[in-house]
Amino acid sequence: AQSVAQPEDQVNVAEGNPLTVKCTYSVSGNPYLFWYVQYPNRGLQFLLKYITGDNLVKGSYGFEAEFNKSQTSFHLKKPSALVSDSALYFCAVREYSGAGSYQLTFGKGTKLSVIP
Amino acid sequence: AAGVIQSPRHLIKEKRETATLKCYPIPRHDTVYWYQQGPGQDPQFLISFYEKMQSDKGSIPDRFSAQQFSDYHSELNMSSLELGDSALYFCASTSTSGRAYNEQFFGPGTRLTVL
């Protein structure tokens, strides 16, 4: 079975500083990896995905993620954090279960707090 | 651009009642997924449909059922509601072809509260 882990429940960073939200994965084949963000009482918003190609993936709102196969990681990064980035971030891996179904398995989420 | 629509956005029910949640996928998307997110939890996959046929089941209780209709909208039916069913229920849609193939687009969710 495929899985994804987010080792940090919470990350605090000062506004303007770079941020990293960590994610590691365990898959039996080539991973399809995603990052989603969830603001309070809101739905999940897609940030970026890695399917194949360049290890550095650029996404929405200035976020990027680096796929590292040797470390089985897919950390989310942003060069300069904004207070408005404060939210809950989920890493997810796409899991194929047959019959065209590709449900997502999510990590437990990391709460990012950007301090003014 | 059109997004995934879910209705209702909020629903309050009593124990042992039934509830029906609706999901309208993005036009031309052929696959729908349902997820349940409990308080402080990560979303958990419940069930999915591809071309109106159930394609996979996750941690969906037997009290729940779902279907996808000819217009591709989906409904999640929940019976004998329990307090533990209180959660945010997401629907996501995707297309098995085109640029959206590898990406699930999520709706805003339905917040179900069982009293």
Question: Are the C-beta atoms of residues A31 and A85 closer than 8 Å to each other?
Answer: no
pLDDT at B43 over 70: yes
For residue B58, the chain A residue with the least C-alpha distance is A103
How many whole angstroms separate alpha carbon A23 and alpha carbon A42? 22
Measured distance CA(A101)–CA(A10) in Å, rounded: 32
At A97, the pLDDT band (50, 70, 90 cuts) reads low
For residue range B101-114, list pLDDT tens digits in order. Answer: 668 889 999 999 99
Res B56: pLDDT: 85
Q: Mean pLDDT of all residues in chain B?
A: 91
Each residue's pLDDT tens digit, A22-47:
999 998 777 889 999 998 877 888 89
Q: Which residues 33-92 of A are in CB contact (within 8 Å) with B? A: 34, 36, 41-46, 49, 51, 90
**Residue B100 pLDDT > 90:** no
Task: Flag whether pLDDT at A99 surpasses 60.
Answer: no
Is it the case that residue A98 has pLDDT exceeding 90? Answer: no
User: What does each C-alpha distance from B86 to A23, A39, B80, B81 come to in angstroms?
Assistant: 28, 19, 12, 9
Q: Which of B13, B21, B9 is CA-nearest to residue B77?
A: B21
Angle at B69 between CA B66 and CA B75, to 5 degrees: 35
Distance (Å) from the C-alpha of residue A38 to the closest C-alpha of chain B?
A: 10
Burial of A7 (0-12, 13-18, 19+ CB in 10 A): exposed
pLDDT band at A103 (very low <50, low <70, confident <90, very high): confident
Alpha carbon of B80: minimum distance to chain A alpha carbons (Å): 26
Contacts of B15 (CB under 8 A, 6+ apart): B81, B82, B83, B114, B115
The alpha-carbon gap from A4 to the nearest alpha carbon of chain B, in Å, equals 11
pLDDT in tens, A50-64: 988 889 999 989 999
CB A100 within 8 Å of CB B54:
no
- Report the pLDDT value the prediction gives residue B102, as an integer from 0 to 100: 67
**Shortest Cα–Cα distance, B5 to chain A (Å):** 11
- Interchain CB distance below 8 Å, B42 and A90: yes
Residue of B nearest to A38 (CA): B108
How many pairs of residues across A and B have Cβ atoms under 8 Å apart? 67
Structure tokens at A47: 């940030």
Q: Is the peptide bond before B8 cis (omega within 30 degrees of 0)?
A: yes
Residue position matching structure tokens 């987010």: A6
β-pair type (A10-14, A110-115): parallel
Mutation target to probe the B interface, by most B beta carbons within 10 A, among A101, A104, A108, A110 is: A101
pLDDT for B50-86, tens place per residue?
888 988 888 899 999 999 999 999 999 999 999 999 9
Choose from B21, B32, B96, B106 for mutation: most chain A CBs within 10 A: B106
